[in-house]
Structure 1
Amino acid sequence: MKTIINRARAALLKYDIRALAVIADKLKTLGRDIWAWENIGDPIKQGHQAPDWIKQALINVVKKNSNWGYSPTEGLDEAREFIAATERQQGIRLAKQDIVFTSGLGHGINTLYQSLLNGGGRAIHPSPAYPAHSSSESFFAGAAPIFYACRATNNWQPNLNDLEEKIKKHPEIRFILTIFPNNPTSVCYSDEILKGIAALARRYDLGVISDETYIRLLYKNQTQTGLAKIMSAGQPFPLIVMKSTSKDIPWPGGRSGWLEFYNLGQDKNFAELEETIKQNLRVQVGSTTMVQAALPAIYGDPRYQTYLAGFIAKLEKQSRYISALLNTVKGIYCVPGQGAFYLAAVFKDGVLRPGQSLPITNAKAKEYIESLTADPNLPLDKRFAFYLMAAKGIILTPLSSFEGPPGFRVTTLKTDLKETKKVYAEIKSAIEQYLASSIHKI
């Protein structure tokens, strides 16, 4: 067969969160049990249960025969009107015709960037980045992603000076991407920062893509203003807000997300982008019907807020314990979480070195991991993650996989704090042993 794949372009498709699971599965075939999966943000996999009343809402949807058919390309009218009405109650102007459903937010992300990059425009991403955004956008662009800095030393808040410099340097940028509460860092963005991003969008005639998937998952006494609210206080600009049912019901297997378009009538180019996205989705027919049909019944039920508060309390308890423990490890710094269900820990400068390792008792697993770590271009935090898997049976995601500084991301989704203490006692011990290993080799 003749060449099919553009290898350089295919190499831009990176999603180590799941790629690491492939390595873990290989280790399992070699006899190394992987017993702690700290890499994937799936509440159900970690033992969370949807309450019976939510399951009953879905049963009611399943019983209605029309819900077994296609939904309109843009989504069910009832679901879109419910979302629009919810925003209007908070003083945000949004009409149902400006909402488009997709089969999971990942589908929406892909469709958005495919449509945007058809005209040569680019988006600039926060770093650390969420790879579903950065990888998809760079793949369709056929070029490396463009980043603006967010660093742990500044509570992971966006560096507006760096953002503006990158905008000046890259005239191809059409949109600024924001993600809050952030994945992978779990921090919220202050109103001051969001107002600064809005000011840059206005100054340079740009739009903003605001991924607010986790905006309902805020820890106690934590607030987070949505970007539509920030924008409404000043001159409008093109804005796309992204949300999903995957994390706050949670229902990741339902695969349902949506895009909210603001100020379409203010900009002809933005309206053309929205129409291109809809045309793209029409080719794909429609998104999942049953989740859309259940959405008003779930989010609109008075029991939802009580359930959500309980879910968030569990996440916060786990997050507080993990961040406090990680901050006792010499050589590690972890900004406490403010929402969502992740934490990002960074290795302090100079503590990671080539040649560090952990003892691996399984000879076949050792040989396999050493073959992977022989790559001289392997990021040092990924080397640590590989050794942790093979030596301790624990999988986490290196922060370099999010285009961030050396470190790692973990989830805060366990339902049993005793299990969490067991896992993170092992992680703490492994970090200390790993960092000390280079000393013994001198």
Structure 2
Amino acid sequence: MRTTPTAHPNTELLVYGIREIVDVANKIKGLDPALELTWENIGDPVAKGWSVPQFLKEILTEEIHRADNRSFAYTHSRGNIETRKWAVTYAKQFCPSSTLDYEDILFTNGLGSGIAMLYQMVAPGKRILQPSPTYPTHASFESFCSGNAPIFYKLDPEKGWAPDIADIEAQLQNHPDIVGITVINPNNPTGTIYSQETLEAITRLAEKYNVMIISDEIYFRMVFPGHTHVHMAELAHARVPLIVLRGLSKDIPWPGGRCGWLEFHNTDLDPAFKDYCEAVKKRVLLEVCASTLPQMVIPTVYNHPQFNAWNQQYSTELQTVADSIADTLNQIPELTVNKTLGAFYLMPRFKQGSLNNRQTLPITNPQVKAYIEQAVATPNLADDKRFTYYILANTGIVCVPASDFFSPYPGFRLTTLSRNPEERKKTYERFAEATKAYLGSG
């Protein structure tokens, strides 16, 4: 007898707290329409008041008014050929010795889609080692595809969230099923940037244990003044199978453009890696093609004479915002805050013993109070998630618990995009006062 469709058995392994907290916030807003919500959880520069540069608008206007209407049609299933050829030239700016070919570049609808394909096409029983904390799409989708909990290596907050090289090697030794290492640099969720020494050490381990590297470099253009991004392609050249992830997303800013690309480097080093790359290329064909419009304008955008100056100013202002928020939160004795070095993320962590499951904040609306009390009664709820629920209900400020980024260190992640200085000061002073009250409540 036939049965109705049932959910995939690994569905519970799909977690994405960045958006899940939105459901909680909207539920609270429905119960208390007077509560003003402040969204500090999602990395959308446009929604936070950052201007889209005029040159981007002009490029898009010119493109959509072309007589041939090319941006309204399908493009090549693996990505517009001319744009892929541009991406090869672009990559060689950072790695002059690169042998990357345009046939080894795939365009996808945002990097989220590309990340999913990468993990879908890993052979059954094989694993990709993930950082902890991490951007949840990586760990969650790898876990979903493998049917098992993620295998993590530690990022060390005492060393600026640098990868723990000894722990990476320990995981490689303990798990012979690992065939790759994911590296996110500049890092989401911590906002750090890895040194050349650290990346070289990871490359040496990948050589030693014959595994590939997946290097998510979506934020590589968003490096604050005084810091440098080291490209993994330069270190791994002719040494290690490598996939580099890039995209048109936050740095321009145009997150709604949803356009990412995958670069397969050093495919001749290992027949198994080449087969894997070909498998991903087959998988992308099922998507028909990624959105055409962003692909058509990418070369013009990044080659535009105003882009570099605009990007430098953007990064400088982002640094001012991030430093301002960090300075406010560093006044809370129970918090440790590593400053942001790139992108727009900050992950303060609570000192050991600061959090417990007895702490609360006043909630004036009785319906919201009942809802939150029910939510925090969930068995095994992380203490930092409890904290974010009470902060949300008390202040309207939406942030994401560090535990939702698979962090072993209780804390929370903020997007450092609050551009208006008066609003930012008001928001984070309110956040700091509520945090102090919460920590002192029990």
DSSP-derived class of the 1:11 partner: helix
Shift of 1:92: 4.3
Q: Distance in 2 between matches of 1:154 and 1:99?
A: 34
1:74 aligns with 2:75: no
Q: Which residue is equivalent to 2:372?
A: 369
The match for 1:173 among 157, 173, 178 is 178
Q: Which residue is equivalent to 2:434?
A: 430
**Is the contact made by 1:73 and 1:278 (CA closer than 8 Å) also made in structure 2?**
no
**Is the contact made by 1:92 and 1:228 (CA closer than 8 Å) also made in structure 2?**
no
The match for 2:117 among 111, 128, 131 is 111
1:412 aligns with 2:413: no
The match for 2:48 among 28, 46, 49 is 46
DSSP-derived class of the 1:250 partner: coil
The match for 2:104 among 94, 98, 101 is 98
In structure 1, runs of 5+ residues without a counterpart are: none
Q: Which residue is equivalent to 1:349?
A: 352
Q: Which residue is equivalent to 1:201?
A: 206
**Is the contact made by 1:111 and 1:280 (CA closer than 8 Å) also made in structure 2?**
yes
**Is the contact made by 1:78 and 1:296 (CA closer than 8 Å) also made in structure 2?**
no
Query: Could you report, residue by residue, the CA deviation over 1:303-340 in whole angstroms, capped at 9, with x for unpaired residues?
Result: 00111112111210001111111111010001011000
Percent identity (aligned): 39
Q: Distance in 2 between matches of 1:377 and 1:2?
A: 33
Amino acid across the alignment from 1:128: P
Q: Distance in 1 between matches of 2:378 and 2:349?
A: 22
Q: Distance in 2 between matches of 1:397 and 1:89?
A: 36
Query: Could you report, residue by residue, the CA deviation over 1:335-359 in whole angstroms, capped at 9, with x for unpaired residues?
Result: 0110000000000000101110000
Q: Distance in 2 between matches of 1:34 and 1:357?
A: 20
1:160 aligns with 2:165: yes
Q: Distance in 1 between matches of 2:46 and 2:288?
A: 29
1:11 aligns with 2:17: no
Q: Distance in 1 between matches of 2:340 and 2:354?
A: 24
DSSP-derived class of the 2:273 partner: helix
**Is the contact made by 1:218 and 1:338 (CA closer than 8 Å) also made in structure 2?**
yes
1:330 aligns with 2:333: yes
Shift of 1:4: 3.6
Q: Distance in 2 between matches of 1:7 and 1:268?
A: 32
**Is the contact made by 2:223 and 2:343 (CA closer than 8 Å) also made in structure 1?**
yes
Q: Which residue is equivalent to 1:276?
A: 279
Alignment CA distance shift 1:352-1:123 (3 Å): same
Q: Which residue is equivalent to 2:309?
A: 306
Q: Distance in 1 between matches of 2:8 and 2:116?
A: 19
Query: Could you report, residue by residue, the CA deviation over 1:133-184 in whole angstroms, capped at 9, with x for unpaired residues?
Result: 0001100111101100012112100001111111111111110000011000
Q: Which residue is equivalent to 2:323?
A: 320
Shift of 1:119: 3.8
RMSD after superposition: 1.2
**Segments of 4+ moved more than 4 angstroms:** none
Paired residues in the alignment total: 435
DSSP-derived class of the 1:264 partner: coil
The match for 1:58 among 56, 60, 78 is 60
Shift of 1:7: 6.3
**Is the contact made by 1:34 and 1:389 (CA closer than 8 Å) also made in structure 2?**
no
1:30 aligns with 2:31: yes
TM-score by length of 1: 0.96
Q: Which residue is equivalent to 2:3?
A: 2
Amino acid across the alignment from 2:127: R
Shift of 1:419: 1.0
Q: Distance in 2 between matches of 1:402 and 1:34?
A: 26
1:20 aligns with 2:18: no
Alignment CA distance shift 1:3-1:357 (3 Å): farther
Q: Distance in 2 between matches of 1:342 and 1:397?
A: 11
